[in-house]
Chain A
Amino acid sequence: MATVKKVSAIKNTPKHLLGIQNLSVLEAKEILTEAKSFIKLNRGSSKKLDVLRGKTQINLFFEPSTRTQSSFDLAGKRLGADVMTMNMSNSALKKGETLIDTAMTLNAMHPDIIVIRHQDSGAPNLLSQKVNCTVINAGDGRREHPTQALLDALTIINRKGNIEGLKIAICGDILHSRVARSNIYLMNMLGAEVNVIAPKTLMPKGIDNLGVKSYTDMKKGLDGCDIVMMLRLQNERMQGSFLPSKREYYEFFGLTPEKLKFAKKDALLMHPGPMNRGVEIDTKLADDINVSLVKEQVELGVAVRMACLKLYCK
């Protein structure tokens, strides 16, 4: 009998990870399965593999980032790649170089993977058209943050066993959030029901067409939810007069132990970080290990990024 060769969904499709929107269910599941295998490795004492030995990974960060950048950095190193991180927020762009020029310069150095974070939506797509290597989106504008959604999915699967059939609430500044968008696509794709909760000024138009139910009331929106994802409220939004005050926001949309009771009894709390304690989340709740998955998210983030790097790098 002929042996059945394991077929990778990703190897047969374009080599960039630009967003969950471009991903098929098979691809998403393949990444998650691969990531699972790295969890144990990351917890062990010897963490280094050589699957990406000889490969060059450039982290191109046009926007400041702590956890995503360090997570990608570590992921690449653990797989044996040579990792270079370029902090672009005060670099060539200020000298008038365009994204394309920067890309072409880097491309000439023959990297195998470019991990990009950019403040403009669609920048990774543009980059991917101009370089010869794999492009992985580490967050673009308010469009997508695919690895964040994937790590969130892995965290949920790790705790709940499965995503299918769960009810997930995403609360906060949906309008400006790429994390919310990527999670909406991925959780829907994996069979969850998604509620989004935000004040009207922070709710994007046409969100219902993305396959979610939208609420402005935490009580209604959290009802029956298994997972509560809180989003960071960016302080700069206050100046744009999206909201009257932090105090008022916390009153109606901040997650407190009382509001969490609207969700299911065993509901778990997630946050992509960094957190504004006392603005979108009660500080004790954020640290409650029985409820909060925040630390686990960060941990599994490395595993997910390792999986992405491994699967997408040719």
Chain B
Amino acid sequence: MKEKILTNLRIVDPSQEIDEIGNIVIDETGKIKSIGKGSETSKSVEKINLKGLIAIPGIVDMKAFVGEPGFEYKENFRTLSQAALAGGVTSIVTMPNTKPIIDNVSMVDFIIRRGRDKAKVNLFPCASITRQVEGKQMTEFGLLKARGIIGFSDVNKTIQNTELMSRIMNYASDIDVLIMQHAEDYELSKNSCINEGEVATRLGLQGVSDIAEKIIIERDLSLLSKFPCRYHINQISSKNSLDVIKKNKSNGVKFSTGVSINNLSLNQNDIGEFRTFLKLSPPLRSEEDRLSLIEGIKNDLIDVIVSDHIPEDEESKRLPFAQAATGSIGIETLLSLSLELYHNDSLPLEKIIKCLTFNPAKILKIDKGTLKKGSDADICIFDLEKPWMVKAEDLKSKSKNTAIENRKLQGKVKMTLLKGEVVYSD
């Protein structure tokens, strides 16, 4: 590979607190050689003028489902990575709820090999916290970590057993593994498919109170103060949960928190008359909750924005709401939808980018989400102003269950680089 220089870009890199116009020089090995104004280059370089565009570190999406193995008809490594790159995502944390479930060492070897062969992005696989995500027995954290597992998650399932959870935390604290919890009390959420309240009452659907989320967070954070491990709350959805997080953070408890872009951009009213693509977990809640989540990002109570990319085939969604599958795709629209929060003055650009790049990398302890000299040149280049409309059929994911069909967005990825190579350009 020849040395490359990307010129006249606005470079936004929260890891170095940079927001300036300048150039990015990428060396022959695909690493960042220098960034900034006075970047000197030799003559034999490939020069790409990207005036008017913004460069940020490649996005790190901490929660996406890849259908392999077992659900190839919903998504596979190839389609997921195409969707990701079109959305400026260069690093993906993949979920273990495949078929079979990634809860043992041989499965890890399989998906790492498979991902390496088929995907053109950096993949960071998760294993499940408990075997068969049954919430009964912990997986081999140590062995799995040694094989390349980035963290542990039962995805959209919660460890209900408090004793088990305390042991998981206790054990994990010793070997420095990341535990990612979905917060939902099953007794309270039984049969529910939507937020509790007027909308649920009108639609005649079983609602779930935000208490179901709060109660698990409260429990886990209590345990965490006794067994301090690397603990991450996958996605929160309500103001009530934020209050708990705030209290614990101010008491010095160390943990991190994520939120889905869906919960930041949509509320329960968007479900309209049974739009099953908006059946999500945690559910979309009230506008008040949505606004409080934005405040949560502003106040550093929420660290990460994820796509919560869950591809589902049409058959699983074309059912009465209560029976329909949960989740929506979103990795390709993650950045654009996040930029909506900039355009409507909800959040500063730097903050949004930080939650998409530097913060997740820091939590995962990976050398990504930065444009620092010497790091891999994983770069997302986008046009902040470009208007476009989300059309399901244009999305690269194998499944088309987007929650924001026909939404008019502003800001679109123009080019994605992976280790210095242009892997996507619009």
- Which of the candidate stretches B90-98, B156-164, B195-203, B252-260 sits at the interface with the other chain? B195-203
Contact at B204–A99, with CB atoms within 8 Å? no
B225 is an interface residue with CB less than 8 A from chain A: no
- Which of the candidate stretches A24-32, A152-160, A206-214, A224-232 sits at the interface with the other chain? A206-214
Contact at A98–B318, with CB atoms within 8 Å? yes
- Which of the candidate stretches B242-250, B294-302, B320-328, B340-348 sits at the interface with the other chain? B320-328
- Cross-interface CB contact of A206 among B198, B274, B321, B323, cutoff 8 Å: B198
A141 is an interface residue with CB less than 8 A from chain B: yes
- Cross-interface CB contact of B198 among A99, A100, A143, A210, cutoff 8 Å: A210
B315 is an interface residue with CB less than 8 A from chain A: yes
B426 is an interface residue with CB less than 8 A from chain A: no
Within 8 Å CB of B196, what residues of A? 205-206
Proximity string of chain A (162-186) to chain B, C-beta cutoff 8 Å, 1 when within and 0 when not? 0000000000000000100100000
CB-CB nearest in chain B for A62: B320
Contact at A178–B204, with CB atoms within 8 Å? yes
Contact at B204–A206, with CB atoms within 8 Å? no
- Cross-interface CB contact of B204 among A126, A141, A207, A209, cutoff 8 Å: A141
CB-CB nearest in chain B for A121: B204
Within 8 Å CB of A99, what residues of B? 319-320
Contact at B198–A120, with CB atoms within 8 Å? no
A80 is an interface residue with CB less than 8 A from chain B: no
Give residues 270-323 of B contacting A (CB, 8 Å).
273-274, 315, 318-323
Within 8 Å CB of B322, what residues of A? 120-122, 141
Interchain Cβ contacts under 8 Å between A and B, 5 examples: A98-B318, A120-B320, A141-B205, A206-B198, A207-B201
Known: A205-B198, A210-B202. A98 touches B274 (CB 8 A): no
Give residues 166-210 of B contacting A (CB, 8 Å).
196-205, 207, 209
Give the 3 A-B residue pairs with the shortest CB-CB distance, closest first: A143-B204, A206-B198, A120-B320
Contact at B200–A120, with CB atoms within 8 Å? no
Contact at B204–A122, with CB atoms within 8 Å? yes
Within 8 Å CB of B319, what residues of A? 98-100, 126
CB-CB nearest in chain A for B286: A206
Minimum distance in angstroms from A90 CB to a CB of chain B:
18
Contact at A122–B198, with CB atoms within 8 Å? no
Minimum distance in angstroms from B387 CB to a CB of chain A:
30
Within 8 Å CB of A207, what residues of B? 198, 201
Interface SS of A by simple majority: mixed
Within 8 Å CB of A140, what residues of B? 204
- Chain A contact residues (Cβ within 8 angstroms of B): what range? 20 to 34
A123 is an interface residue with CB less than 8 A from chain B: yes
A144 is an interface residue with CB less than 8 A from chain B: yes
Known: A118-B320, A141-B322. A125 touches B274 (CB 8 A): yes
What CA separation (Å) do A155 and B201 show in the bound complex?
26
Query: A125-B274, A144-B204, A206-B201 provided; 6 other pairs, C-beta below 8 A?
Result: A120-B320, A122-B203, A181-B202, A181-B204, A205-B207, A210-B202
Within 8 Å CB of A142, what residues of B? 204-205
Within 8 Å CB of B209, what residues of A? 205
Interface residues of A (CB under 8 A from B): 21, 98-100, 118, 120-123, 125-126, 140-144, 178, 181, 204-207, 209-210
Within 8 Å CB of A206, what residues of B? 196-201
CB-CB nearest in chain A for B274: A122
Within 8 Å CB of B201, what residues of A? 181, 204-207, 210
Within 8 Å CB of A205, what residues of B? 196-198, 200-201, 207, 209
What CA separation (Å) do A46 and B150 show in the bound complex?
78
- Cross-interface CB contact of A21 among B200, B202, B315, cutoff 8 Å: B202
CB-CB nearest in chain B for A181: B204
- Cross-interface CB contact of A120 among B207, B273, B318, B321, cutoff 8 Å: B321
A99, A205, A209: most-surrounded residue (chain B CB, <10 A): A205
Give residues 372-393 of B contacting A (CB, 8 Å).
none
Minimum distance in angstroms from B382 CB to a CB of chain A:
36
What CA separation (Å) do A123 and B323 show in the bound complex?
10
Contact at B198–A126, with CB atoms within 8 Å? no
Within 8 Å CB of A210, what residues of B? 198, 201-202
CB-CB nearest in chain B for A175: B201
Within 8 Å CB of A141, what residues of B? 204-205, 320, 322
A118, A122, A144: most-surrounded residue (chain B CB, <10 A): A122
Minimum distance in angstroms from A209 CB to a CB of chain B:
4
Contact at A126–B207, with CB atoms within 8 Å? no
Within 8 Å CB of B204, what residues of A? 121-122, 140-144, 178, 181
Within 8 Å CB of B318, what residues of A? 98, 100, 126
What CA separation (Å) do A123 and B199 show in the bound complex?
17
Contact at A126–B202, with CB atoms within 8 Å? no
Minimum distance in angstroms from A231 CB to a CB of chain B:
14
CB-CB nearest in chain A for B207: A205
Contact at A123–B198, with CB atoms within 8 Å? no
- Cross-interface CB contact of A123 among B197, B200, B202, B320, cutoff 8 Å: B320
Within 8 Å CB of B205, what residues of A? 121-122, 141-143
Minimum distance in angstroms from B211 CB to a CB of chain A:
12
Minimum distance in angstroms from A47 CB to a CB of chain B:
34
Contact at A143–B200, with CB atoms within 8 Å? no
Within 8 Å CB of A125, what residues of B? 273-274
What CA separation (Å) do A122 and B272 show in the bound complex?
11
Within 8 Å CB of A126, what residues of B? 274, 318-320
What CA separation (Å) do A291 and B204 show in the bound complex?
31
What CA separation (Å) do A141 and B274 show in the bound complex?
13
What CA separation (Å) do A206 and B200 show in the bound complex?
9
Minimum distance in angstroms from B137 CB to a CB of chain A:
30
What CA separation (Å) do A144 and B204 show in the bound complex?
8
Within 8 Å CB of A100, what residues of B? 318-319
What CA separation (Å) do A207 and B14 show in the bound complex?
46
